Each structure stands twice: as structure tokens, then as C-alpha cells.
Amino acid sequence: MSSPATSSDREKVVSKLPGWLRQNLKIRAAQHGVEIQAAVEQGIRDWCSLASTTSAIDTSGADSFSTFLPPGQWEEFRQVAADRGVSLIQGLAQSVQLWLDSNPAPDVARPEVTRRIIVCNQKGGVGKTAITAGLGEALAEDPNTLHAVRVAKALAKALRASESASEDATANDPLEVENLPGLGLRVLLVDFDPQCHLTNQLGAAPLPMHGDSLTNHMAGDPKGDLRDLIVSIDEDKFGGRLHLLPACNDAFLLDVRLSAVRAREAALERALAPLEADYDVIVVDCPPSLGLSMDAAAYYGRRRDGEKPGQSGALIVVQAEDSSADAYDLLTTQIDDLRSDLQVDIDYLGIVVNLYDSRRGFIATSSLQGWVDIKDPRVVGLIGDLKEQKEAVRMKQPLLSYAPRSQQAIGMRALAREIA
């Protein structure tokens, strides 16, 4: 059952494990950030030290499983299994289960202060809505399931590739993708755009005119509890952790209505504050506007007392073309003015270059390099212009449900971890 050692300090061991147990081991090891071989080694050591065998494990359907153990451990294990009258497969299964029982799944790390992420850019059409949805989905994925994530070096490679128009910066080597547990956070997506794109893309219905809406609550004219307007998104995929506050077309009138409200820059915060205890993260999809509504959104994302820098703030979505740069300058000027006028800290969480395709030539690659050169804020995400996002919108499904292993989904998970 063993083969020659592959290194000076370990030998390869081949046995069998039931598929369900192997999967549980893989997930739990990833949750604790340890290698599978280290987990198995510890499990065998603990099992051998027990006074007797533990409860029998159902090993029906067990298939090939290999790992690397310190020299001599497998032989010791074989002897203990023989002394106890159990098969090697049963002994190994008990060892793995013992390690799982001794290392339960860690609790989800929840922020002390509800994070507020404001997804924005004055320019329309850059894909703010897709980034809002994808980010929220990635934050809410099941922590007890593994999901494909692009590792940091893949983003760095893609950004370096922007220097060469001949290299496809949206391509990823399979070795640069790893399977990690979901983040498992409770997320509220807020559709703050009167065009209702986020609401429509996720398959929800826009709120009817003349009913209750976020606009009414911000204007001081609520018609009910804002919680009653919230809908859950894809319960099967996200386990009740992902919710949406739909938009209403009445948001076109928001700036006019806010002009008559006292302390109007705090209007969004007053409306959403009662909901914050229910969520770890609130992600706001902003309209392409520089008006009072954007002031309220930026103020909502300010750093609060006791909150660490970089937990909340503005996530700016751009494309690798010139008009995005003009819009970026307008937006950052507005945020900087708000910082100065109200004496608040509004952090930039980074820049996301969306809908990127290096095959578009010099304009795309040189523009991407321009974003990379800014450095502060830095580029935290690069999302390719691929078909899966468009298909998910057409199907009115979350991207990470429709195409969970697509390059765009992998990039969204990387973005979530970059700003986590």
C-alpha cells in the first residue's frame, strides 16, 4: 500500500477512503489552512494513541486515496490496525474522522461594524451592477463548500501582461486557481439606481411606483418597514445569506426630494441603519450620478468611529478606455470635496477594471497600464469581458449560480478576498 518516498522526509501512501469523507477532509483542511497530508498525519497519530478503536465508519464505495506521511508512520499504523482487528481502510477512515472531530469548522469571521461598500463611477455602462452582484455573491458563498478562486499571483500576472498587447491578460493558468471555502457572510445588496438594473439582473421585480421604497425612507416619508421590501436571492446556492433591497423608478426624483431634507448627506444612513444588525456587509450599487444621492452614498461609506481603515468605502469600477478616466476624476473630486467639507474619512477600497479584453489592442492595454500606475488607490480586480456574465443577465440568475467556475466568477471571488 505504499510506494517509494518522493522526498527525503516523507513517503507516499496509497489506500482508500469514501468519497464523502475525502471531501470533508479537503474542505476542513482548507478552512484551517493546513495541508491534507498534515491533517491525515495528525489523525493517524491520534488514532494510534487511543486505547481502543472509535465508532465504525461506513466505508462502502471507498476509492483510491493517497497522501504523504513521515517514514515509519504507515508501518506503525498497519501494526495498530492489525492489533485492533480492523482493516487499513477502516482504520484510516476512523483516523480522518477523528481529525475532523478534533478540528471543527471555524466560525465565520464577522466584522465588528457592518461593512458598507459603495460601488460607484459617474460613467454609466462600466458594469457597476455586475461587480456589485458578483462581489456580494462571492462574499455570501457557502463556507462549507470549496469554490474556485483566482490567487493573487494571477492578478499580478494579468496586470503585468497589460504591458504587452499580444498577451491575453484575461487568461489564467489552471495552477493559478485554487479551491477555497466560501466566505459565508450575510450580505445585503442595495439597488440605489432608478434604472433598476441590479433588481432586474437578479430576477427580482422593481418596487411599484406610489408604494414604499428606499427613496421614501431617505426623504423622510416611509410607508412601512424597509425590511418588508427585502427579497432573498437564490436560497439554494447562498443559504439565505444573500438579500436584495430592490429599486424603484421613483429614485429618479431622489435628488429633488433630498434638497428639502435636513442633513441630507446622512439620508441613506438613516434609512439603512435599522438593517445593519442583520448583515455583515451592505453593498450599494450607485447610479451614474454626481448629485445629492451620490453624496449620501459616499457619506454612508465613510469610516466610522472604531472602524479599521479599508473596511468600508468606495469601490470604483472602470473600463480600460479614456472616458472612464474622465469620469474617475469627477468622482474622486466629489469624494475629496465631501471629505473636506464634512471632515470625514472616506476610504477608497480600490479600482476594479471591468470588461477587459487585451485583444482590443493598444487603447485597452495602455489604459489598463494607466490604472495600474495610479497605485493609490490600487487596482484590486480585473474582470474579463466574457459571455457568461451576459448569459447570466439574460437568464436573470446570479453569475456565481449560473457559471460558478467561469473566469468571471473566479475573478469575483478574488476581488472579494482582495478587499476583505
> In the chain, what are the domains?
11-102 (1.10.1220), 115-418 (3.40.50.300)
pTM of this prediction? 0.90
Residue 173's pLDDT is: 44
Q: How far, in Å, CA of 262 to CA of 281, rounded?
A: 27
| First CA to last CA distance, the chain | 43
Residue 158's pLDDT is: 61
Residue 5's pLDDT is: 42
Any idea what DSSP says for residue 58? -
C-alpha cell at 169: 491578460
Low-confidence ranges of the chain (pLDDT < 70): 1-8, 152-175
Q: How far, in Å, CA of 415 to CA of 151, rounded?
A: 10
Phi, psi at residue 142, to the nearest 5°? -60, 120
Residue 162's pLDDT is: 53
Residue 161's pLDDT is: 60
Contact 408, 388 (CB under 8 A): yes
Q: How far, in Å, CA of 43 to CA of 307, rounded?
A: 40
Secondary-structure breakdown of the chain: helix, strand, coil percentages, each rounded to the nearest 5: 45, 15, 35
Residue 420's pLDDT is: 82
Residue 27's pLDDT is: 97
Sign of the Cα torsion 396, 402, 406, 411 reads positive
Tell me the residue type at 6: T
Contact 115, 43 (CB under 8 A): no
User: What are the CA-CA distances from residue 402 to residues 58, 69, 326, 394 (Å)?
Assistant: 34, 40, 34, 11
220: left (phi over 0), alpha (psi -120 to 50) or beta: left
Residue 174's pLDDT is: 43
Beta strands at 242-245 and 348-356: parallel, antiparallel or unpaired: unpaired
Q: How many CB atoms lie within 10 A of CB 236?
A: 7
Q: How far, in Å, CA of 180 to CA of 142, rounded?
A: 10
Beta strands at 115-120 and 313-318: parallel, antiparallel or unpaired: parallel
Q: How far, in Å, CA of 238 to CA of 241, rounded?
A: 6
Could you tell me where the DSSP H helices lie in 141-234? 152-161, 197-201, 214-218
Q: CA geometry: angle at 189 spanning 184 and 194, to 5°? A: 170
C-alpha cell at 67: 497522501
C-alpha cell at 37: 497530508
C-alpha cell at 329: 476624476
Sign of the Cα torsion 212, 213, 217, 221 reads negative
Kindly report the length of the chain. Answer: 420
User: What are the CA-CA distances from residue 152 to residues 149, 351, 391 (Å)?
Assistant: 9, 15, 27
Of 106, 141, 110, 160, nearest to 412 by C-alpha is: 141
